[in-house]
Amino acid sequence: MEVAKLLLEYLKVMAWPLLIGIVSLGFRKSIRRLLEERLTEINGLGVSAKFEEKVEELAVKAAAILEASPVPPQDNSPTSARVDPAEAVIQWSEQNLIHAFQHARSYARTEPDIAIAFAWSRVTITLREAGQRLDLRGLGNLDSPGASFMRRLREIRSLEEARPINEVAPQILELYRIRNEALHDPRSKPSHSAALSFVDAAEDLSISLFRAIESGHG
């Protein structure tokens, strides 16, 4: 699989360009981890040493392209022309969510672990945006394994302003568990159907949370 193509496709469908730096960093970590074994096999050629530098370069270029080319509206009908600008932005962002998960599905058959990493990264983007819109002080390092993710969800459980996130917390935690098992357990090799199920669940959660946040901040 071509890493450059994957990273560029991922960045092209992101909904919130201001988060490009954060997300590309987290996704680089996921891809780096998933490719460690492959890189080890050709480490003698010096490829491993140059990997991080190359991916960083690609991320910067992709970010520059995105900032120069904002996502246009998808619907040019007379009805869409009358939509309030603020509402239109919401519609476009939701469409970008849908596009992102479509890209995740495209990797499910040949690279199910990549599809799962891709879909989870999209969930973390939605959570970070939700945290910003709810004025929560960060949601921890959600893309890294460990206790920080669980701890941060517990910390916000008692906050009324975090209610939209708390309502879907069980689903978030279940996706997090499956993601960790798929990407970190050497005995686990996710199937095509399992990856598709994960992407579907991640999409449902992300869109539900997105709509809940926007309906309360209109």
pLDDT, one tens digit per residue, over 191-206 is: 999 999 999 999 999 9
Distance CA 55, CA 16 (A): 20
Residue bearing the bigger pLDDT, 33 or 15: 33
Domain boundaries, the chain: 3-215
> If pLDDT is split at 50, 70 and 90, which confidence band does 38 have?
very low
H-only helix segments in 140-191: 148-155, 163-167, 169-184
Q: Which pLDDT value is given to residue 189?
A: 82
The average pLDDT across 146-153 equals 68
Residue bearing the bigger pLDDT, 174 or 143: 174
Is residue 11 predicted with pLDDT exceeding 70? Answer: no
Is residue 118 predicted with pLDDT exceeding 50? Answer: yes
Residue bearing the bigger pLDDT, 100 or 42: 100
Distance CA 48, CA 13 (A): 28
Pick the closest to residue 104 from 86, 123, 132 (CA basis). 123
In this prediction the pTM is 0.58
Residue bearing the bigger pLDDT, 66 or 32: 32
Distance CA 52, CA 49 (A): 7
